[in-house]
Amino acid sequence: MHYAVTSRGDETSNALQQKIKNYLNEFGLIFDEDEPDIVVTVGGDGTLLQAFHDYAHRLDATCFVGIHTGHLGFYADWMPEEVEKLIIHIAKTPFQVVEYPLLEVVIRHFGDEKSERYLALNECTVKSVEGSLVSNVSIKGELFETFRGDGLCVSTPSGSTAYNKALGGAILHPSLATLQIAEMASINNRVYRTVGSPLVLPQHHTCLLKPLNDVDLQITIDHYSLVHKKVKSIQCRVADEKIRFARFRPFPFWKRVKESFVGD
């Protein structure tokens, strides 16, 4: 089996990364950063998000497992003390694979035939660089509303516990192939009106955002943030691809939610 180990880059994570490499090499696994069957991330959720984007071109052939060297993460859910146990699992046992849905984002610009396609593990957010975002929101080809406000967040089920949660969105189980649209401070008065609640769309229901004012947009895909000019549309739907996690023990999603947000 071919493997890669990524690190957040701090001293603790780097030391653990080296330890994992040594162990896995001893077990006869092959270190291969280009075409790994499994990627072990050491750091936090951000480290796993980064690894996901680094290997997004080969999701069908790569599994992920995350170790947290800080607080318990949503994706990075193994503790440093469990590393030996995890290594033996990776080296000796055929592991189960759990798949989580992803978000596909296609951005089109005025005066450009080409579109840009991204995959997000957590979410895509759209804000105006200056003033409010004014954008039509269509669902499945039908105009749903004209949004005015700080911005919109379109998240995956596994990303529903991240930015989406801070916006009052629901926590969705990652077995549901859905996307969720959450508002950021919409303007609602006698002139402007939006639905005001987070919306959960099933697979194949595309959400299309069409900005109505000519402003630069700040668009994030997970931890990446880019300013886009002359945006014609941002199309979001549940992606055909999925992320695959290597599972060596049960750690139910709701248990993770409880431990992270409610307490023991």
Catalytic residues: 45
Taking CB under 6 A as the rule, does residue 183 contact ligand NAD? no
In 10 A of CB 75, how many CB atoms? 24
Give dist(CA 175, CA 184) in Å, integer: 26
Q: Is 17 in the site for ligand NAD (CB under 6 A)?
A: no
Contact indicator for 75, 65 with CB cutoff of 8 Å? no
Give the binding range for ligand NAD (CB under 6 A) out of 102-110, 161-169, 207-215, 225-233.
Answer: 161-169
166-195 exposure pattern, b = at least 16 Cβ within 10 A, e = fewer: ebebeebebebbbbbbbbbebeeeeeeebe
Q: Considering only residues 38, 45, 55, 145, which one is a binding residue for ligand NAD as defined by CB under 6 A? A: 45
* Residue 78 φ/ψ, nearest 5 degrees: -100, 145
Tell me the one-letter amino acid at 157.
Answer: P
**Using CB under 6 A, which of 6, 13, 122, 128 touches ligand NAD?**
122
The yes or no reply on residue 180 touching ligand NAD (CB under 6 A) is no
CB closer to ligand NAD out of 29 and 76: 76
Residue ranges in 72-111 that form contacts with ligand NAD under rule CB under 6 A: 73-74
The structure tokens 């790994």 sit at 36
Which residue in 77, 104, 123, 145 binds ligand NAD (CB under 6 A)?
Answer: 123
**Relative orientation angle of helices 11-26 and 83-92, to the nearest 10 degrees:** 30
Q: Per-residue contact track with ligand NAD, 187 to 226, x per CB under 6 A?
A: -----------------------------------xx---
Q: Residue 209: what are its φ and ψ, rounded to 5°?
A: -105, 125
261's CB contacts (< 8 A; 6+ apart) are: 161
Stretch that binds ligand NAD, among 44-52, 89-97, 186-194, 202-210 (CB under 6 A): 44-52
Q: Which is nearer to ligand NAD, 45 or 145 (CB)?
A: 45
Nearer to ligand NAD, 45 or 150 (CB): 45
Beta carbons within 8 Å of 154's beta carbon, 6+ residues apart: 103, 105, 123, 124, 125, 126, 179, 180, 181, 182, 207, 236
Cα–Cα distance between 81 and 76 in angstroms, integer? 13
Contacts of 224 (CB under 8 A, 6+ apart): 53
Stretch that binds ligand NAD, among 11-19, 100-108, 155-163, 187-195 (CB under 6 A): 155-163
The CB-of-166 to ligand NAD minimum distance in angstroms stands at 3
6 binds ligand NAD (CB under 6 A): no
Among residues 3, 55, 100, 163, which is the contact residue for ligand NAD, using CB under 6 A?
Answer: 163
3-state secondary structure of 65: strand
Nearer to ligand NAD, 151 or 211 (CB): 151
What are the residues binding ligand NAD (CB under 6 A)? 44-46, 49, 73-74, 122-123, 158-159, 161-163, 166, 222-223
